[in-house]
Amino acid sequence: MDFQLDFRRYSLAFRHPVRTSHGSWTVREGLYVRIGRPDGTVGLGEAAPVPAFGTETVAEDEACCRTLGGRISGDALSLVPRHLRALRNALAFAIGGDADNPRHSSIGVAALLPAGRAALADAPPKADAGFRVFKWKVGMAAADDEMALLDDLIGALPPGSRFRLDANGAWDRRTAERWLDRVSGRPVEFVEQPVAHGTKRADDCLAGLAADYPTPIALDESIAGEDDVGRWLDLGWRGYFIIKPALVGDVRAVLARLAKAHARVVFSSALETGIGAQAALRLAFAWPGKALSLGFGVWPLFSDPRFDGPRAVPFLRIGDLNRINPEALWSAAS
């Protein structure tokens, strides 16, 4: 059974440069795949790699699509190298379609706050709009200053508000310990990636912090690949897993493993466009466990709003996803 494969690269400016630990990120590059199925239906998928997160590059994805050619068989995925995770993800969705039944009708969204003092002005209007979970980047300034700011933020928001603090691996162990001491008893849902990832020592440090403090820790950069998820599950990790479906090669298998382990999973954006967002969010709505607030409060994101996923609202409904028209994005990318 043959499928028709077409692909298109896109290059989209962010409305505002995205600050990352690797510097300023101004243009999102990725690739759409479009699969014509034998029954005449069409499936679209998005490869939105983030090389800084250990994925392949868009150039590698494009080269692979050229190698596959215009006609592919149903098992073409087996020809895609395993490390091309974003592309495997895109092809799996485009070939297989939306195979997951929703189990939630609406899921909360975490409001994204700007780093530093700017959060103090940004957060109250978001609380007024109905957001109660706030994600705040930390590790950008001196810990004492940020700790004081966190108290100001807590004081500025309605009771019941909760915080996710994302350090992106910026702290050393001592700083992480000071923070975890400080937030104990404060409304902090979790501390995300307090220390760096990638070494045995870093893993031991994360496991030690998780054992020593009551505030849960979330793994983000530590679980860039599907092998990492398995490794942390094997280690008995009881904290949170931040899953960016766009960056996981065999995402359904990974989620099945996490579900079996009753893991706490936060579905999160990889700053993809609407096609990838729709696929990722459908997985979030199909998640059999507790639906934690989504890390998808990122849109509007692109200078060209046609490529945005659903605008950040306190609660996302399944209908918001179904309004995304992948074919329109494919056309707009030409």
Known catalytic membership, residue 200: no
Binding-site size, Mg ion (CB under 5 A): 3
Tokens (6 digits) for 196: 């760096």
Q: How far apart are CA 180 and CA 188, in angstroms?
A: 10
Quote the least distance from Cβ 169 to Mg ion, whole Å: 9
Looking at 126, 244, 260, 290, which residue is catalytic? 244
Q: How far apart are CA 194 and CA 191, in angstroms?
A: 6
**Is 220 one of the binding residues for Mg ion (CB under 5 A)?**
yes
Binding segment for Mg ion (CB under 5 A), chosen from 73-81, 140-148, 159-167, 230-238, is 159-167
- Residue ranges in 39-142 assigned as alpha helix (H): 58-68, 85-96, 118-129
Quote the least distance from Cβ 28 to Mg ion, whole Å: 17
Quote the least distance from Cβ 7 to Mg ion, whole Å: 29
181-200: contacts with Mg ion (CB under 5 A): 192
CB 126 within 8 A of CB 108: no
Helix (H, G, I), strand (E, B) or coil at 271: coil
Q: How far apart are CA 297 and CA 84, in angstroms?
A: 26
**Strands of 2-20's sheet, edge to edge?**
42-47, 23-36, 2-20, 71-73
Number of residue whose CB is nearest Mg ion: 220
Nearer to Mg ion, 126 or 137 (CB): 137
Known catalytic membership, residue 260: no
Looking at 137, 200, 260, 290, which residue is catalytic? 137
Nearer to Mg ion, 146 or 192 (CB): 192
Quote the least distance from Cβ 22 to Mg ion, whole Å: 13
Cα-to-chain-centroid distance, residue 149: 26
Torsion of CA 214, 204, 195, 219, to 10 degrees: -70
259-318: contacts with Mg ion (CB under 5 A): none
Binding site for Mg ion (CB under 5 A): 166, 192, 220
Catalytic residue numbers, as ranges: 137, 244
